[in-house]
Amino acid sequence: MSIRVERDKETGVAVVTLDRPEKHNSVTLEMARELTAVWRGFRYEDEIRAIVVTGAGGRAFCTGIDRDDAGRVPQPSSPYTIDDPLLAIGPKANDLWKPVIAAVEGMACGGAFYLLGEAEFLIAGESATFFDPHTTYGMVSAFETVHMAQKMPYGEIARMALMGTAERVSARRAYETGLVSEVTEPGGALDAARAAAAVIASCPTEAVQGTVRALWSTKDASRAPALAQAPHLVTLGNLPADRQGELFTRRSGAYRLR
């Protein structure tokens, strides 16, 4: 299993870890199914009142869908629909209203935003970086930008999405723009997230979940119709898979840290 779950019933905090450090914690189809099951299962675990999600190894929180698995997802011919295996990897997509804190170390990019976008807040180690590679490889960033637009000013999310792999947002810049709520020393994000989660878990859970639901109600009015448009934009704007692959193999490793 590439999803590891630790439960501390004394504090009421669980830690969900993406556990493929050798692959930068990229999400396989099996991992996507496991995440869905984990989030839905937490709805029935009354002793768990707050959750931290993180990535193993320190080099990356998550780099999106595993490219090998991405090519194995058959797509319908209609331009009005798309099968995206990452749509249900987040807690809110699975009707979980217990608070989730993301602890980010290393790279967080692309499909990682499905998870980060559904966390209540982010804590990042100082060496964390955020970027969106879609446009570089001829793909539309639609679902990802909709999720992150709930957490970043328009100009910041637009720049990150449009600059592709040429630029990465540092943890400090992410803090300045409001994406990240706290920056720790490298390697310290998980401990800080655990501590915050323990405080939240000590409060009456009905009040906490009601607050989370109230906060999310302010987002849903704009988020839902934007996500509904995303499949059409992806279908119409993506290059064919073989052309995407060509761009990927020719990619430059150079980038500017902002």
Task: Report the mean per-residue pLDDT for the chain.
Answer: 89
Where residue 106 falls (left for φ over 0; alpha for ψ -120 to 50; beta otherwise) is left
Residues spanned by the domain of 90: 1-74+83-188+202-258
Best CA proximity match to 228, nearest among 31, 84, 110: 84
Domain assignment present for residue 46? The answer is yes
More confident residue, 122 or 221: 122
Give the global pTM. 0.87
More confident residue, 172 or 86: 172
Report the C-alpha dihedral over residues 234, 237, 243, 245, rounded to 10 degrees.
-30
Report the C-alpha dihedral over residues 57, 61, 63, 69, rounded to 10 degrees.
70
Question: What percent of the chain shows pLDDT beyond 70?
Answer: 86
Tens digit of each residue's pLDDT (9 = 90 or more) over 245-255: 666 676 767 77
73 contacts 32 by C-beta, under 8 angstroms: no
Domain assignment present for residue 197? The answer is no
Domain assignment present for residue 193? The answer is no
Highest mean pLDDT of the ranges 61-75, 160-174, 209-223, 231-245: 160-174
Find the CATH number of the domain harbouring 209.
3.90.226.10
Domain assignment present for residue 176? The answer is yes
Tens digit of each residue's pLDDT (9 = 90 or more) over 103-149: 999 999 999 999 999 999 999 999 999 999 988 888 888 889 988 88
Residue 96's Cβ-count burial label (10 Å; 0-12, 13-18, 19+) is buried
Q: Which two tokens stand for residue 79?
A: 């331009």
List CB contacts of 24: < 8 A, sequence separation 6 or more.
59, 60, 62, 63, 106, 107
In which element (H, E) is residue 29 found? helix 29-42
Tens digit of each residue's pLDDT (9 = 90 or more) over 43-95: 999 999 999 999 999 999 999 988 776 666 666 677 666 667 788 899 999 99
pLDDT band per the 50, 70, 90 thresholds, residue 3: very high
Phi, psi of 11 (to 5 degrees): -90, -15
Report the pLDDT value the prediction gives residue 73, as an integer from 0 to 100.
67
Domain assignment present for residue 195? The answer is no
Best CA proximity match to 61, nearest among 103, 7, 4, 14: 103
Domain assignment present for residue 255? The answer is yes
**Residue linked to tokens 């804590």:** 123
Domain assignment present for residue 2? The answer is yes
Report the pLDDT value the prediction gives residue 118, as an integer from 0 to 100.
95
**Number of folded domains that form the chain:** 1
Domain assignment present for residue 50? The answer is yes
Report the pLDDT value the prediction gives residue 213, as an integer from 0 to 100.
92
- Ranges 17-26, 172-181, 209-218, 242-251: which has the least confidence: 242-251
85 contacts 143 by C-beta, under 8 angstroms: no
Q: What is the mean pLDDT of residues 16-30?
A: 95
CA 204 to chain CA mean position, Å: 27
